[in-house]
A and B are shown apart, each in its own frame.
Chain A
């Protein structure tokens, strides 16, 4: 499915993880994140264990560490916020390298950093091993409201079309000597964005017309039914279940 069309996060392969039905992977990734988030932050030893679990998945999926780490960079802007926390949080303070840091803030930063990184890593792994199209089928299978699935599906279909339209508008502007060189030119860019919005809106109307003409009555027909065997579910759920064991230990110890 979707040969020749791969989104940038996807990494083509034939590993056992790639082969799992999309909805089992979605459920597993979501459950894993929930388990990680509900782990007490004081159980520091639990987090390397979680990371090791993800590492094992990456190994089975044959996703190289470099690939995974590069994709993790998306997290950086959020991390910047976490780094601020020890400086601004209230409460008891400790001296580290001559800086006065809040203990609460340190715990908070650690909490955000560890859980966020694990969540992003799980998502990156999911995206690297599942095609966009399959993700949509999985969401549909997991009974996400059909309207949301439709919106996501149209985003994928028309993303390139609209980007292309934007590119043509930029070329048309440049051909008439326009160059955005500062705040004074933002007005022109804003008008372009407005025009793009209206064009997209009108395209939406035409697409709707085409859909209605082919019998659309509010819901997209389910053309591909994805199914998973018991064994496939158990492979997929191995990840969140082992994580759950770690989490429970974290609460008990």
Chain B
């Protein structure tokens, strides 16, 4: 179908404008994630992706926006090789996603799924966080330390021995993030991280995500959350990247937003938000 029409910047957005863009966006190492010409059709013939191209540099936080049915989940499942592309390639830190490197790819790409009850499948928080590293062969004190560090980063260390279903929803979401952090991924992929969270849990999660020193791709409908956390956004619509640029600019482009069924919440004006200081943005968001 249509080729990619939107301007795609060759590399990271202008550095320095936004917090979260790694200061050392060095040109040397390979990009955290490089997707080129990715196309995919389901076995029933329904084509979900028609040639997706983008590149995410190390340390960037990027939002993937798009209406329901745009192919966001399909795209995410290609990133760690659950689905295999019909055409095109995905590279994670230079390593192509294919059968031979599957174990390493799954370690490098940490996906946090939308429902924490799907993500947390072990009897206790500790065992769940240990699952990924243990599957990769880590044991004993090293494993224990990895678990503690991951839980520390999401502020859930004292819940280590609890069963997941005794935690609040927000806590479960944070543990879900920890299960993936424990694998020390190259890139953290979050599917609708703010869904079903109350405002306080939502803010706590934002603080945690901002404090992490890791590349983040965040799939979301929650446009204010994208603006708060991600300096750069991609718009996926009808299986192609329809736009790629600074989040504040994309959200301010009313025509673009309308064309892709993206709507800002009532009263929200992206131009009034001071992106530089996300904390003050909390209170100044709604005019």
Residues of A within 8 A of B (CB): 1-5, 132-133, 136, 153-154, 156-158, 160-161, 203, 206-207, 209-217, 220-224
Contacts and interface: CB of A to CB of B under 8 A. Distances in A.
B145 interface: no
Contact of B113 (A2, A132, A206, A215): A206
Interface in B21-70: none
Interface stretch (B129-137, B194-202, B269-277, B278-286): B129-137
A6 B54 CA distance: 49
Given A157-B123, A215-B107, A207 B118 contact: yes
A69 B112 CA distance: 47
B166 interface: yes
B118 A206 contact: yes
B123 A2 contact: yes
Q: What is the interface of chain B mostly: helix, strand, loop, or mixed?
A: helix
A157 B106 contact: no
A212 to B, nearest CB: 6
The 7 closest A-B pairs by CB, nearest first: A221-B134, A215-B135, A214-B132, A206-B118, A5-B163, A223-B130, A210-B119
A206 B162 contact: no
Interface of B: 77, 80, 82, 103, 106-107, 109, 111, 113, 115, 117-119, 121-124, 127, 130-132, 134-136, 143, 161-166, 179-180, 183
20 contacts: A2-B124, A2-B163, A4-B166, A5-B163, A133-B124, A157-B121, A157-B163, A157-B164, A206-B113, A207-B118, A207-B121, A213-B109, A215-B103, A215-B107, A216-B135, A217-B103, A220-B131, A221-B135, A223-B130, A223-B131
B97 to A, nearest CB: 13
B106 A212 contact: yes
B106 A223 contact: no
B121 A211 contact: yes
A1 B82 contact: no
A215 B136 contact: yes
Nearest to A204: B118
Contact of B127 (A154, A158, A211, A223): A223
Nearest to A153: B123
Nearest to B106: A215
Contact of A157 (B80, B122, B134, B180): B122
A4 B287 CA distance: 45
A132 B103 CA distance: 31
> Which one of A136, A211, A217 has the greatest number of beta carbons of chain B within 10 Å?
A211
Given A2-B123, A212-B82, A215-B103, A223 B143 contact: yes
B165 A213 contact: no
Given A2-B123, A136-B123, A156-B123, A214 B131 contact: yes
Contacts of A160: 165
